[in-house]
A and B are shown apart, each in its own frame.
Chain A
Amino acid sequence: MYDKSVAELSQGLREGQFSSLEVTRSFLDRIAALDGNLNSFISVDEGAALRAAEDADRRLAAGDATALTGIPVAHKDIFCTEGLRTSCGSRMLDNFIPPYDATVIHRFKRAGAVMLGKTNMDEFAMGSSNETSYYGPARNPWDTQRVPGGSSGGSAAAVAGRLTPAATGTDTGGSIRQPAALCGITGLKPTYGRVSRLGMIAFASSLDQGGPMARSALDCALLLNTMAGHDPQDSTSSTVPAEDYSEGLDRPLDGLRIGLPSQYFNEGLDTATGERVRAALTELQSQGATLVEVSLPNSALSIPAYYIIAPAEASTNLSRFDGVRYGYRCQDPVDLQDLYSRTRAEGFGEEVKRRILVGTYALSAGYYDAYYKKAQQVRRLIKQDFMDCFEAVDVIAGPTTIGPAFALGAKIDNPIAMYLEDVYTLAVNLAGLPALSLPAGFVGGLPVGLQLIGRHFDESRLLHVAHRFQQATDWHLRAPDTIGSEAAR
């Protein structure tokens, strides 16, 4: 059961091959058996999941089902869930139970999906290894001594470990794509504004975007169908109509032009990973796509620009966590200043504090023009680079990461090395573009990802290309052995 895709489960449920209750139970059992190793969940709500499964079975019986009715889904613990603790991976919100659902959660509930629980993540989505989580790191199912990536590491590990058929993630600088690549799953960061941010705890408002994480492009398309669409309560949500993203995925790739930026195949890229990515591109070429050399000349500026803009926005987004209304509050504050400083010193972890300090500095009087304003100018240049490329090509492709998953602890004390993890993913967020990572093969038994970047609101094309690739390859079907064998008992 747990090895089935969302599409297969959806069909089986509607044909009555099995019930949602059975499906849900099988995944809950697997979580109970394996998550002690993976630590991919922060909260699991069995009772609510089973009740939702029963409701879904009634809808299925009544013929009132959507593609996701009865499908178990895990949500990154950054999406607020009514009545269920939403920690954002932080001590600050360890006791926070939202009285509302995020729009994304609301949409999944409306579709009849079953929420298994909330997945582990880097604290406030700040990290590329899941190691900044207050709840300890999620582990990579392919090698539990290695990181699953981050910040949506729990979601990626849970999907890869077959603890859930699908999950949600958020991506501010690569937080869906990088863990998807390191865990060997498919993850899509939609165009900025495609998926509502309401109820999604903000890290960097102008960069954050929620998206689907699943085993295949088709499954991601089914999830995106539920997630995408205008939300009048999110002013940055787009009014461009959402599409049926599962439609027309089987079309041939004839005429497709794929741009390969020279800057994404440089000396920083692990050789074996580069080879896997090139092989994947050759496969697409064999299906009728044309490969075109392109250039993103300002690409190297994306890391400095990102590490000004994202911390600047984060520094003020996180001001609300002050111990006054909800969340962590220090013991016996002597005055207001003490309440603020001890609550925040004790409630936030090191990486979060580092970024708040960087962001506060970047916005300070006298530094604003040199840092924040300059970074915004660079951001426009980076976006323009992409726009220029898209004059000549339909999709831009390259590696998602510089190499496969690294060992736990390898980079946690070296923020700069950690920040460089996202060298191929950050620019996409700065430009607001959609991008997808899909399994492209293995290096030393560890998965690596191919990244596809599209024009604004061209999610359909990315899913189409990824789906065609997955029709011809089986990288996305491979499951980690150790996890699989343990569960098969």
Chain B
Amino acid sequence: MQLEPVIGLEVHLQLATRSKIFSGSATRFGAEPNTQASAVDLAMPGMLPVLNGYAVACAVKFGLGIGAQISRRSVFDRKNYFYPDLPKGYQISQFDAPIVGRGNFEISMQDGSTRSIGITRAHLEEDAGKSLHEDFHGQTGIDLNRAGTPLLEIVSEPDIRNAAEAVAYLRALHSLVTYLGISDGNMAEGSMRCDINISLRPMGNATLGTRTEIKNVNSFRFVEKAIHHEVERQADIIEGGGNVVQETRLYDADRDETRSMRSKEVANDYRYFPEPDLLPVVIDEAYIEAIRGELPELPTEKRHRFREQYGLSNYDANVLSDTRALGDYFETVVATCQSPKISANWVQVELLRQLNRDDTAIEHCPVSAGQLGGLILRILDNTISGKIAKQVFEAMWKGQGSADEIIEQRGLKQVSDGDQLETMVDAVIAANATQVAQFIVANEDKRKKLIGFFVGQVMKLSKGQANPQIVNTLLAQKLK
């Protein structure tokens, strides 16, 4: 029996607001415990929530970004449960009337193909605080800095079929929300957390199998591993004639396995009802249009434009439109040197490699896009070869100046002078009589290889500065 995984994701996205969703406290990450918790966040008696308008704007931006319905009237509800890091004893969330309704999301796979993933809804809610179980000698510490941080919970349709699609979906989502500027997307700090709903069914079967939910997975890699693991686990159960139990599971990255959470979760009745301390959020056409006017070019649009305007491949367009900053960088390079193809290569190969190596964000790149464009210009006008250009780029990275300055200072200019090169070619021919003799009797294939050898020798002699095209031509003439 061939089994098909059916996967839906719930993503909790932390919105990039300066203050909390219902109070004026700051949302900065990493502050001393309980220094960003006001009387509202502590649920002191008589305190009331006031909705942060910017959080609403973020949600609407997201809705417009995926072409979803924006609810003209959405309602906050109370989700009731007791836990020490939930000070009010209820979480303010949205249940029946979320702010963002049904939408669709196009994702790009590694092979360049695209898939459409349905978005069921997205709603605003507040985060809880943190319970700290270590360092308190058997007691539990509570840090309420995170309590009240605005979250957008994005619920997908069960349209995902494997781990690769799940990761592609999350990457695309990450790209979209950072484009929109509604989240910093910092997964290590918990800005994007993911719950995975997963079930298996016989291929071709329309009804869904029993699902499990894997809670709070916080990296792309862990999502991939958790799905692989859970698909395998469920397949083993089904193929062994057993039944999957509907439950909440936790992914343990250290042991690479999922395990059942305590079953008390199952019986929870959250007693949702409309939050009487907040008015319904009413949004009119003018507001939506104003937000629409603020939207930047979105990743999908940029990808399409890069393909058409610059003639890039699907793959290149994908990589270069991954973040707004990278796309902008690439376009500035092109504007300087007028060569999209070579710009795309340099940005993807040299630039990204260096950024990765130094763990630097594109925003803090030591080589500006204009400088990189200037370097590429020197390749294009044959001042330096591509190989020398890499050396120059290294120096630029270390802040040793512009391409022209470095080429000048180090005398790296390519030698294109025919007389100078002829002298070198003659010297190489004279010094390698054996190879010359071989060349004379060699067939076409062998000759090509030997020409490569001679070019290499000339390059060595010129310390890499000889113009390889002219050297080739000279060698061809001399060895005829």
Name A's B-contacting residues (CB within 8 A).
79-80, 86, 88, 93, 96, 98-100, 102, 197-202, 204-206, 232-236, 312-313, 315-316, 319-320, 322, 324-326, 336, 340, 360, 363-365, 368, 372
Contacts and interface: CB of A to CB of B under 8 A. Distances in A.
Interface stretch (B39-47, B57-65, B407-415, B446-454): B39-47
B90 interface: yes
B82 interface: yes
Contacts of A200: 46
Interface in B112-144: 142
Given A99-B39, A320-B89, A324-B84, A235 B44 contact: no
A326 B45 CA distance: 9
Contacts of B299: none
A326 to B, nearest CB: 7
Given A313-B276, A319-B89, A320-B88, A100 B39 contact: yes
B112 to A, nearest CB: 47
A86 B44 CA distance: 12
Nearest to B43: A320
Q: Which of B42, B82, B90 has the most CB of A within 10 A?
A: B82
Interface of B: 39, 42-51, 78, 80, 82, 84, 87-90, 142, 269, 271-273, 276-279
Contact of B48 (A234, A319, A320, A372): A234
Contacts of A372: 273
A98 B45 contact: yes
A100 B279 contact: no
B276 A319 contact: no
A88 B89 contact: no
A312 B277 CA distance: 14
A89 B45 CA distance: 13
Contact of A316 (B78, B87, B142, B278): B78
Given A312-B273, A319-B80, A100 B44 contact: yes
Nearest to B80: A316
A197 B48 contact: yes
A363 B271 CA distance: 5
Contacts of B80: 316, 319, 363
A93 B44 CA distance: 11
Among B84, B269, B273, B279, the one with the most A-chain Cβ atoms within 10 Å of its Cβ is: B273
B279 A236 contact: yes
Nearest to A326: B44
B271 A88 contact: no
Contact of B46 (A202, A319, A340): A202
A359 B48 CA distance: 21
A235 B271 CA distance: 23
Contact of A364 (B47, B49, B271, B277): B271
Contacts of A80: 44-46
A319 B269 contact: no
18 contacts: A99-B39, A197-B46, A202-B277, A204-B276, A205-B277, A206-B276, A236-B276, A236-B278, A313-B276, A316-B90, A316-B271, A316-B273, A319-B88, A322-B89, A325-B44, A326-B44, A363-B271, A365-B271
A147 to B, nearest CB: 26
Contact of B49 (A100, A235, A360): A235
A236 B39 CA distance: 19
Contacts of B43: 320, 325
Given A201-B45, A235-B50, A235-B51, 20 more contacts: A79-B46, A80-B44, A86-B45, A96-B45, A197-B48, A233-B50, A234-B50, A235-B49, A312-B273, A313-B276, A319-B82, A319-B88, A320-B88, A324-B84, A325-B42, A360-B271, A363-B272, A364-B269, A365-B271, A372-B273
Given A98-B45, A320-B88, A340-B82, A368 B273 contact: yes
Nearest to A208: B276
Nearest to A92: B45
Given A316-B89, A316-B271, A319-B89, A336 B49 contact: no
A88 B42 CA distance: 18
A360 B89 CA distance: 13
A199 B46 contact: yes
B273 A363 contact: yes
B327 to A, nearest CB: 40
Nearest to B51: A235
A82 B78 CA distance: 28
Nearest to B39: A100
Contacts of A324: 84, 87, 142
B51 to A, nearest CB: 7
A448 B202 CA distance: 76
B46 A236 contact: no
A427 B172 CA distance: 53
A108 to B, nearest CB: 15
A102 B44 CA distance: 12
Nearest to A231: B48
A325 B278 contact: no
A197 B47 CA distance: 9
Contacts of A206: 276
**Which 4 pairs between the two chains have the least Cβ-Cβ distance?**
A319-B89, A205-B276, A363-B271, A206-B276
Contacts of B279: 235-236
A86 B46 CA distance: 11
Contacts of A336: 84
A336 B84 CA distance: 8
A352 B446 CA distance: 97
Given A205-B276, A320-B87, A340-B82, A365 B269 contact: yes
Nearest to B278: A235
Residue with the greatest number of chain A CB neighbours at <10 A, chosen from B39, B42, B89: B89
A316 B86 CA distance: 13
A340 B396 CA distance: 63
B366 to A, nearest CB: 46
A198 B47 contact: yes
A100 to B, nearest CB: 6
A363 B88 CA distance: 17
A368 B90 CA distance: 17
A316 B90 CA distance: 7
A235 B90 contact: no
B216 to A, nearest CB: 20
A197 B44 CA distance: 14
Contacts of A88: 45
A102 B87 CA distance: 20
Nearest to A341: B82
A478 to B, nearest CB: 35
Contacts of B42: 325
